[in-house]
Structure 1
Amino acid sequence: MAVRLAVTAAFLFPFFTPVASVDLTVTPGAVGPEVVEATVQRILLSDIFSDDFSLLRRIALVETADGKDSAAFAGGLAGGIWRLTPEAFTRTTELAEGDWGSYYTDLRRSALGVDWRDVTYTDLQTPLISALAARIYIMMTSTPVDKVAYGLAPQALYWKLQYNKDGDEAQFIAKVTEMEKGQVCKIGIDVVFALDASLSVGDEGFARSKNFVKQVVEAFNIGPRDDQTRVGCLQFSHEVSLAFDLDNHDNKEGILRAVDEIAYKGGGTAMGSAIDFIRQNSFTEEHGARPTQYAVPRVAVILTDGKTNKEFPILFPSALAHRDGITIYCIGVGAADDSELTVIASRPVASHVMHVLSYAAIDYLQNIMATRTCRETTEIAVGHPVVTDLQEGEARFISYEIDRTEGATLKFVTSSGLVTVYLSSEVPNPNEAVYDYKVQTDGRVDLFIDPALLGSSSRYKRATGVVTPSHVTVYTAIYAHTNGTQLYVESRGGNNADHGYPPPASTDPPDGGEHAPYRSHASPGPTASVPVAVAAVCATSAIFAQLQF
């Protein structure tokens, strides 16, 4: 995953400094929470497996403290971060073609690009391979196949019976609870909950739906600032009934009271009407949604237990909502129609559709929902600016569809405060674990995405001969390091980078990742390279970098 960075002086004498882009998910021996979370996200994004309800993330924590527990590796490699046993790994390599062999094909053809039949046990020191081995094993040993338990206690029981027979269920629950308690999303989001209030839900089911909303709200930093979350809510039966808009309550207590006051109506299931209402009303500035230039994600969470009435179709409303940049999560309960949920939800389906057996079970999803919504990106059209304020520790995740014929220039400007900018064409939330380009600035940085270097961002497309699309998605993540950071991002087609200043004396390479407490002898795993042409202007410098997309 090599990237060449060229710093061009005013004298036009080129000076080349090699800088490697980073993907610690395929780096043998890399460890830590960021590595684990990036690895789990890559598997979810592949859409190969069903939702594991955070089980993979939790096993990494319990088995090896995300690879940082030296005691876990006292006996040697022990299956990498996920510490799968040799016997369990062998089972993952013996899937019959008639049963689960299609998973091998999916892995090879997906963006992960892994031929599982070539993987050996020693390869499990690579985080992605260790996680895939664990995920395949979970798929094989779940009952029914690939239907993972969604509650913490049932997951702990599964782990004890199938994954680690010497493990302690109580310790599993305690460690996971400690990790997940008190987690607060520091990223501003506009979230609208749509609650099914049809007759099949009943008073008890509706009460549990309201309780779920309250539990998720507890994990958000509620308030009116750009870095805080706003919440709206509605119910739908034969018609849509608004409970409160995004701007009706700017504190957590007010939202919780408003949810308690929602009265169950009963009736049909006008899900299509609810989606239309969310798009045409809830996510408008008149009803409290932040302007698109703030780059605040717009997220709808739909809870339903049935099938929509025929007079309220869902296909067209869902397509329009997706087109308008609304991310939709669907939580199906009981007899909810999975085919409908798949149509309504955003992609990938594995991370945006959750199906539980009863309303009593939705309580288990609160942490999962809060975590996933906190990572959503905002798609901004090239040519539209972003103007927002960030607090320390907050991030903005922005994606751009860039024309392959002309490329685009992204200009990041901070009038106050320090930010780190990561770019990637592979993952929606690039960070220290996975990125293709990284720069830090407390002034301005111009990045030109050169069309001459834009290739296919998907190994699957390259392998199967799919026609190269006219645009490529570039993901950016901007992290603030100080409170009161004022951020302005300008995007324009073509090369508009300002490069009329001399370069700095040196360019620091990217930070390295943490390594596991055991010696690594394996060769590096497969990597994907993403070349970008970049011009960075930091007060007195112009930096040109080339990365390959």
Structure 2
Amino acid sequence: MKKYALFILILLANVEDTQSQADLTIQENAKGEPVVQAVVDAIRSHCIFASDRLFLRRLALVQSNDGEDSKTYRDGYHGGIWQIDEDKYHQTQTCPGILENVCENIETRLEINWQSTTWRDLRKPLYSGLAASLYVMYKNNISSNTPDGISGSRTHQSLIWKTLFAPDEATASFLNTIEANNDVCQKAIDLAFLIDGSGSIGPLNFDITRQFMIEVTNRLFISPEGTQAAAVQFSSSAQIEFYLNDHSTEGSLKRAIGGIAYGGGSTNTATGLNLAANQVFVAENGMRNHSAKVALVLTDGHSNDQMATEEASQLLKSKGVTVFAIGVGDGINENELQAISSDPDCTHVFILKDFSEVETIINAIQKRACQALLVVEREPGDDSGEIEKHIPFTGNETTVNLIIPAPPTNSSANSTNTTTLITDVSCSVVYIYASYDSTHPSAALYSYSDVALAGSPSVMTIKDESDRPLYITYEGKKYNPTATKTAVDCDNPAINTKIIQGKKPGADVTCKDGDIERECTPLDFQSSQFSKYTPKSEVVDVVNPCYRGVDVSDQTKAIHPNPRDSTKFLKCDVDGNMYVIQCPNGEEYHHDRSTCGDNNVLPTDLGVPLVSGTIAAPRSSPLPEETLEAVNSLYNVARAFQNAMQGKGAELTCKKGNKLQNCTLFDVQTSQYSSFVSKDSWLGVPNPCEPGVDLTDNNNRLHINDLDPKKFIICVEPNTMYVTQCPGNRTYVPESFLCRE
């Protein structure tokens, strides 16, 4: 019997790959850490439950593992990620008593009328998070305006969880879960303590301030590569106790903190803020270019001149420093703390009653460090509209948040309200999320997205008419060359960004039929010199639900029902391509279970599924002759159609100004036809498929996926690879060539 070694895929290219918007916080059954984080950020940044002291984030982990538990969205239960029972939801739904103002805030900030919601709405993550917030606030008599909130103590929070959500469970279950998930990103932080040494603070509270500084130091990684700390004391005047680069070890820093002497005197807070802005956060005294800049101002808020204090705080914040104001002592002036702090006040002002708040403050600092915005600005006087930035990786994975300010109104860079973002990466795959509305776009919330791969840059052209800054998030994963046969130089992976504002970077692309110019079509590109970059598509009457950058490990995003045929389903890849896959034996696809028939897995086990009535072959079995004939027939029809179309497209022409020139791929990528061409590598994994090898041998045909152990690589022909998802929650085991639990 003839063996079949070539699997055929019919791909449909997504023609709006960098235009698709996503807000998974309001999508039913969405799950995952980015979704939960986006919900918590929305609730805190809108000051709905800003004083949760990490409880909301921890509760999502304990209740449903961020929605990843299989029972989260079970039939008949709508409590969502935070698992809010129906009776608990109904206690909040009428907005009783203390919740009245909270519900008004939700309607004003999020345009959600809570009294009009239903329990079913809690299948949307944002609604589940709001219900959890309202229930906890109601039971603990907390309003949006309460600065104290609940305790940041893990032990205290475990008791709240047990009392309100799990009376039959031990508090150890809560504590063990959050301890096992206590990962925080380790980024460089330049941290300045600005400490009030005035007479109104007094020696006792000054000792508490120094102890607080040591508690903070204990929980941060002090080193030239990690966190650096400086200290400024202010009273009648201000003085620098030590600079950012004075102490490179934890022991040295603690000794310096212990040696700070209490000054006494009046409270000239403005001099301390100005000193930090002008002499601490400067490169010559240790500030680093790619660090997060954070200032902790510890004071009672009774300065000599509140207006001068506010002006000095604005100067410090204008340099990209995030300012936390921490109230110490008696009779604290919260209005002044709010004026000193970064916005929103509700997440940047703390009252230091005891050291249980330290963990909350440290988390806030680390979160700001992880989300610190790197401002990408032009040099003074530069009107070219072009900016370049080299961003090295800080580990095997890196996340970078950029803000690209809108160009000046009278600048040539503002002539078309267009920003082109060119991202070239080395030894990595980088997912790109962009937005004008969200300061920290992510996989859960973005307006534009794309993927940059080593050897295949991303080119995104984005237009906005309102002169707003553009926010960019890069999420990068470094290759591990030892896991692939492809040698890759990975000593210094980096992201190289070029931003072009106000002008089109490439030539104008048009198509000519004889002497007549017209709009180009995908067929024109398929018959041009760019055909190898153009996805070959079967004409299928199904709307493509896929988008570039989709998380293919999440079945709710990567797998969809086929509205035209219930025995088929649609599968997405990360480039926005759609695959039409047939269920085996004519069984129907069930979207609620993501299964075909009564089976508990999809037909994707160690093989790329076929289409049009065929099924995936078992790994070690050849296809039946009749199936092979059907596949060959389908393939021949598709190939004949493509051959017939060759040479029938129009001629591509490129013009820069009035000058004709040869078209380049860059011209196409920066034109209105960028969606007609696809990436020339797949998923960012180095290609292990070698020419001249026997692909019937699994050692040559099947390979481990370096970036995701739940996926594997299939070589379908020499130099051509596909990345395939293991079914269920299985992991690929290269020794046995199988996906196993």
User: Normalized against structure 1, the TM-score is what?
Assistant: 0.78
Partner of residue 180, structure 2:
178
1:510 to 549, 556, 566: 549
Query: What is the percent sequence identity of the aligned residues?
Result: 26
Aligned mates of 1:132, 1:141 — CA distance in 2: 14
Aligned mates of 1:479, 1:49 — CA distance in 2: 28
Query: Structure 1 pair 121/360, CA: closer, same or farther in 2 (3 Å)?
Result: closer
Partner of residue 474, structure 1:
470
Q: What secondary structure is seen at the aligned counterpart in 2 of 1:39?
A: helix
CA contact (8 A) 2:420 2:460 kept: yes
CA contact (8 A) 1:186 1:220 kept: no
CA contact (8 A) 2:232 2:242 kept: yes
1:41 Cα deviation after fit: 1.0
Q: What secondary structure is seen at the aligned counterpart in 1 of 2:150?
A: coil
Residue 154 (1) aligns with residue 150 (2): no
Partner of residue 103, structure 2:
104
Residue 438 (1) aligns with residue 425 (2): no
Partner of residue 198, structure 1:
198
Aligned mates of 2:591, 2:218 — CA distance in 1: 42
1:42-71 deviation line (CA, Å, top 9, x unaligned):
222223443321111111112222222335
User: Normalized against structure 2, the TM-score is what?
Assistant: 0.59
Query: Structure 1 pair 218/484, CA: closer, same or farther in 2 (3 Å)?
Result: farther
1:246 to 216, 241, 244: 244
Query: Structure 1 pair 433/222, CA: closer, same or farther in 2 (3 Å)?
Result: farther
Aligned mates of 1:207, 1:256 — CA distance in 2: 14
2:393 to 390, 394, 397: 390
Aligned mates of 1:74, 1:352 — CA distance in 2: 38
Aligned mates of 1:450, 1:361 — CA distance in 2: 44
1:325 to 315, 320, 327: 320
Please tell me the residue identity of whatever aligns with 2:132: A
CA contact (8 A) 2:338 2:349 kept: yes
| Aligned-pair Cα RMSD in Å | 3.5
Query: Structure 1 pair 199/100, CA: closer, same or farther in 2 (3 Å)?
Result: same
CA contact (8 A) 1:234 1:240 kept: yes
Query: Structure 1 pair 479/272, CA: closer, same or farther in 2 (3 Å)?
Result: same
CA contact (8 A) 1:192 1:300 kept: yes
Partner of residue 43, structure 1:
43
Aligned mates of 1:29, 1:519 — CA distance in 2: 12
Q: Which runs of 5+ in 1 are unaligned?
A: 1-14, 455-469, 522-536
Please tell me the residue identity of whatever aligns with 1:59: L
Partner of residue 464, structure 1:
none
Partner of residue 136, structure 1:
134
Aligned mates of 2:591, 2:94 — CA distance in 1: 29
1:462-515 deviation line (CA, Å, top 9, x unaligned):
xxxxxxxx5323211123323622333333431343368948334973223736
CA contact (8 A) 1:63 1:83 kept: yes
Aligned mates of 1:132, 1:224 — CA distance in 2: 41
1:342 to 308, 329, 338: 338
Q: What secondary structure is seen at the aligned counterpart in 1 of 2:397?
A: coil
1:279 to 265, 277, 285: 277
Aligned mates of 2:388, 2:123 — CA distance in 1: 43
Query: Structure 1 pair 145/168, CA: closer, same or farther in 2 (3 Å)?
Result: farther
Query: Structure 1 pair 406/195, CA: closer, same or farther in 2 (3 Å)?
Result: same
Query: Structure 1 pair 337/186, CA: closer, same or farther in 2 (3 Å)?
Result: same
Deviates more, 1:246-255 or 1:432-441: 246-255
Please tell me the residue identity of whatever aligns with 1:514: D
Q: Which runs of 5+ in 2 are unaligned?
A: 1-12, 379-384, 408-413, 479-490, 510-528, 536-545, 557-589, 594-663, 675-741
Q: Where in structure 2 are the equivalents of 1:9-408 lying within 5 Å?
A: 17-19=15-17, 20-70=20-70, 76-77=76-77, 79-95=79-95, 100-110=99-109, 112-146=110-144, 147=146, 148-152=149-153, 153-180=155-182, 183-203=183-203, 205-225=205-225, 228-291=226-289, 294=290, 296-310=291-305, 313-333=308-328, 335-358=331-354, 361-362=357-358, 365-381=361-377, 385-391=388-394, 392-402=396-406, 406-408=417-419
Aligned mates of 1:257, 1:485 — CA distance in 2: 37
Query: Structure 1 pair 270/157, CA: closer, same or farther in 2 (3 Å)?
Result: farther
Aligned mates of 2:229, 2:504 — CA distance in 1: 38
Please tell me the residue identity of whatever aligns with 1:88: K
Aligned mates of 1:35, 1:202 — CA distance in 2: 45
Aligned mates of 2:313, 2:131 — CA distance in 1: 35
Partner of residue 529, structure 1:
none
CA contact (8 A) 1:419 1:479 kept: yes
Q: What secondary structure is seen at the aligned counterpart in 2 of 1:314?
A: helix
CA contact (8 A) 1:270 1:312 kept: no
CA contact (8 A) 2:29 2:73 kept: no
Query: Structure 1 pair 38/219, CA: closer, same or farther in 2 (3 Å)?
Result: farther
Work out which structure has the larger RCO, using CA pairs closer than 8 Å and 6 or more positions apart in sequence.
1
Query: Structure 1 pair 235/178, CA: closer, same or farther in 2 (3 Å)?
Result: farther
CA contact (8 A) 1:417 1:484 kept: no
Q: What secondary structure is seen at the aligned counterpart in 2 of 1:104?
A: helix
Aligned mates of 1:538, 1:45 — CA distance in 2: 42
CA contact (8 A) 2:216 2:358 kept: no
CA contact (8 A) 1:191 1:231 kept: yes
Query: Structure 1 pair 417/538, CA: closer, same or farther in 2 (3 Å)?
Result: farther
CA contact (8 A) 1:411 1:446 kept: yes
Query: Structure 1 pair 438/446, CA: closer, same or farther in 2 (3 Å)?
Result: closer
CA contact (8 A) 2:306 2:336 kept: no
1:105 Cα deviation after fit: 3.7
User: Which of the pair has more CA radius of gyration?
Assistant: 2
1:74-98 deviation line (CA, Å, top 9, x unaligned):
78525111111212211222125x8
| Count of residue correspondences | 491
CA contact (8 A) 2:313 2:340 kept: yes
CA contact (8 A) 2:98 2:138 kept: no
